[in-house]
Structure formats: structure tokens, C-alpha cells
Amino acid sequence: MLKYDIFETAYGWVGVVASENGIKRITLPELTVAEAELELGQAIHGGEMDSSRFEELRASLER
């Protein structure tokens, strides 16, 4: 099952989609949540938002 999240970084909003095999898609920082979601496009359809899945990624982007 696909999991995704959109979260704020110091550079803007980042969207990421992953399966049990790893990251499938990630966006560059965008100005708004809506823009990050748009960049993820069809990749999030049928997926489930799960911020806990990406805690390690979020922490590494905050460094």
C-alpha cells in the first residue's frame, strides 16, 4: 500500500510517496501544500496519508 505525506521544511512544503519498497516520488519544496500535492499528482490516489512513515526523512531535511 502507498503511504504519503506533505510537510513543511525551512525551504517550503515537500510531498513524498512511498511503498513498502521505498520512496516512489518526492517533490522539491513548494510554496504551498496545494502545490506540493499537485506535484505528487496521481501518485497519491489510492494512497493513505501517514506522517509517521516519514519521520526519519523529515528529521534529515531539518538538519
> Which mean pLDDT values do the consecutive 10-residue runs of the chain (63 residues) have?
95 96 96 97 93 93 80
Distance CA 43, CA 63 (A): 27
Contact 5, 43 (CB under 8 A): no
pLDDT at 26: 97
Whole-model pTM over 0.75: yes
Read off φ and ψ for residue 29, nearest 5 degrees: -60, 135
Tell me the CA distances in angstroms from 56 to 46, 51, 53, 62, one per residue in order: 23, 10, 8, 10
The amino acid at 60: S
- Cell, residue 43: 501518485
Distance CA 12, CA 22 (A): 23
